[in-house]
Amino acid sequence: MPPPADIVKVAIEWPGAFPKLMEIDQKKPLSAIIKEVCEGWSLGSHETYALQIADATNFYITEKNRNDIKNGSILRLTTSPYQTALQLHERIQSSSMDAKLESLKDLANASRDITFAQEFINLDGISLLTQMVESGTERYQKLQKIMKPCFGDLLSFTLTAFVELMDHGIVSWDTFSVAFIKKIASFVNKTAMDTAVLQRSLAILESMVLNSQDLYHKVAQEITIGQLIPHLQGTDQDIQTYTIAVINALFLKAPEEKRQFDENIVDILNCPLTEMAHILAQKQLRSIILTNVIRSPTPINDEMAHQLYVLQVLNFNLLEDRMMTKMDPQDQAQRDIIFELRRIAFDVECEPNNGGSIEKRKSMYTRDYKKLGFINHVNPAVDFTQIPPGMLALDNMLYFAKHHQDAYIRIVLENSSREDKHECPFGRSSIELTKMLCEILKVGELPSENCHDFHPMFFTHDRSFEEFFCICIQLLNKTWKEMRATSEDFNKVGRERVGSSKFVLTTRS
């Protein structure tokens, strides 16, 4: 007969002894099982012991996770989380550098376990680590210069333990002092810093920004783009990934008014991150990422791909305001954009008010707006009152007309000379295409935690969204002609062409 479902057969290890094979009754209190194991090895004070999974994790067995134990599991009898935490708390304060280093290494490893982490934090362990970082750095640097190289690991293990402890979400990030933030930022700002220390410091800054609006302001005051760029120009992809993650975090948490800036007056390298969130869309930073990350001989791993995707989404989200802004048909400046589209397409000048009768001018405008493919031939401004895509569609049309003028004129004239049923209306197409692109590129949405889809083309163009539009509108028109499509095929052609364009956008660099 198979054993009862509540009985699991395991092996339990203890240093210096042969493993003990035994059956664990999952209905029995864990403390009673530990007592039984201790008595088998004649160990007293069973309350100071605990069981761990004997693998790379070394996670403690608790009443909450004990059901994860499977038949054939190997467990280890060890000191309880409280006892281990107490010992490490004392040892990391040792005057012996060798003992301190070894204990910090053990602490960094043990802190991955939430059961241990809770006990160490209860001993005010986080405060102890932050004090060690704040006050011990100068001493660490002196020792590193005059004594053994192993002292370079002291700070690394201290920061690693800190990161692991904080990742459990037990302690609020709002509790940290400005002195601690400045110290962590100083590790990032140094030109030569231990790689592990730099990685942990960048990770800490990212977590501070993401978890506290107050810390966002404090961190942003300590870091500039000029101090981060050298980390992107190196060859360590982990450092590059952490650096982009910090930039993304600061951009994500930046107040709306801080996401815009005048690129003509901002000093990019020395610009505080509180004033430069929109700088992510600028050529200098994107060129550095393109050269040193995307075109690097090192294959892009999943985490880097995710951070590049986040960077892309946050930049495209700057378009959300235009996407959700309706055109005001009474706004002369906005109507002038439509007049400009007409002028470029048909090489006409806006007639003065006294040039011909009002009815004649209206008839001429209506004819031209029909050729431009607007739905409302009399007042095309009404076409841009749908949100999304709102004014973003008009922005795309004007960009296409100005920067790809020949292609724009060709598309408009080709369609205006076709039979009505085979016409691919440029205005309507542009509005629907912009809306599709907003959906595909997730404009206005928060980045997904598991997405890795970024478009290399984003890093090669100053106005990548508009360039995406220009590619797609031409492919749409080409497909329309090849299919001899009619107005009934409008959505079908649009979806098919934009869908195939995603491959072009993803691979083009």
The pLDDT tens digits of the residues spanning 197-215 come to 999 999 999 999 999 999 9
314 occurs within a structural domain? no
Q: Could you please report the per-residue DSSP string of 223-256?
A: -BHHHHHHHHSSS-HHHHHHHHHHHHHHHHHS-G
Q: Which residues contact 115 (CB under 8 A, 6 or more apart)?
A: 59, 60, 62, 81
Domain count, the chain: 4
Look-up of token digits 């890795």? 452
pLDDT band at 264 (very low <50, low <70, confident <90, very high): very low
316 occurs within a structural domain? no
Mean pLDDT over each residue of the chain, to the nearest integer: 86
Q: Which two tokens stand for residue 9?
A: 């057969």
Residues 336 and 478 reside in one and the same domain: yes
* Beta carbons of 155 and 197 less than 8 angstroms apart: yes
315 occurs within a structural domain? no
Amino acid identity of residue 52, one-letter, is Q
Q: What percent of the chain has pLDDT over 70?
A: 83
pLDDT tens-digit series, residues 361-397: 888 889 999 999 999 988 999 999 999 999 999 999 9
| CATH number, residue 243 | 1.25.10.10
pLDDT band at 115 (very low <50, low <70, confident <90, very high): very high
pLDDT score, position 224 = 83
* Beta carbons of 445 and 312 less than 8 angstroms apart: no
Residues 226 and 284 reside in one and the same domain: yes
Residues 268 and 373 reside in one and the same domain: no
Residues 129 and 28 reside in one and the same domain: no
Residue 158: name the closest of 92, 242, 208 by CA: 92
Q: Which two tokens stand for residue 237?
A: 């992809």
Amino acid identity of residue 443, one-letter, is V
* Minimum mean pLDDT range among 115-124, 244-253, 352-361, 402-411: 352-361
pLDDT score, position 192 = 77
Residues 456 and 338 reside in one and the same domain: yes
Residues 213 and 284 reside in one and the same domain: yes
* Beta carbons of 464 and 458 less than 8 angstroms apart: yes
Please tell me the pTM assigned to this model: 0.84
- pLDDT at residue 508 greater than cutoff 90: no
Query: Is beta strand 20-25 parallel, antiparallel or unpaired with respect to 7-13?
Result: antiparallel
Average pLDDT for 439-445 = 92
416 C-beta neighbours (distance < 10 Å), count: 18
Residues 272 and 177 reside in one and the same domain: yes
308 occurs within a structural domain? no
Distance CA 69, CA 59 (A): 12
The more confidently predicted of residues 373 and 255 is: 373
Q: Which of 171, 193, 224 is the last residue of a domain?
A: 171
* Beta carbons of 87 and 48 less than 8 angstroms apart: no
Residues 65 and 137 reside in one and the same domain: no
- The rounded radius of gyration (Å) of the Cα atoms in the chain is 32
Distance CA 156, CA 105 (A): 9
Look-up of token digits 């956008």? 505
Residues 157 and 187 reside in one and the same domain: no
Query: Is beta strand 49-53 parallel, antiparallel or unpaired with respect to 20-25?
Result: unpaired
Distance CA 371, CA 413 (A): 8
2 occurs within a structural domain? no
pLDDT score, position 498 = 54
- pLDDT at residue 110 greater than cutoff 90: yes
Distance CA 466, CA 470 (A): 6
Task: Quote the domain boundaries for residue 491.
Answer: 322-444+451-507
Residue 171: name the closest of 104, 218, 128, 117 by CA: 117
Residues 154 and 229 reside in one and the same domain: no
Look-up of token digits 């001493």? 139
pLDDT tens-digit series, residues 344-357: 999 866 555 545 57
Residues 167 and 191 reside in one and the same domain: no
Residues 90 and 71 reside in one and the same domain: no
Q: Which of 79, 102, 120 is the last residue of a domain?
A: 79
Average pLDDT for 274-295 = 72
* Minimum mean pLDDT range among 7-16, 165-174, 412-421: 412-421
306 occurs within a structural domain? no
Does residue 387 sit in helix, strand or coil? Answer: coil
Q: What is the DSSP letter of 293?
A: I
| CATH number, residue 29 | 3.10.20.90
Angle among Cα 114, 118, 120 to the nearest 5 degrees reads 115
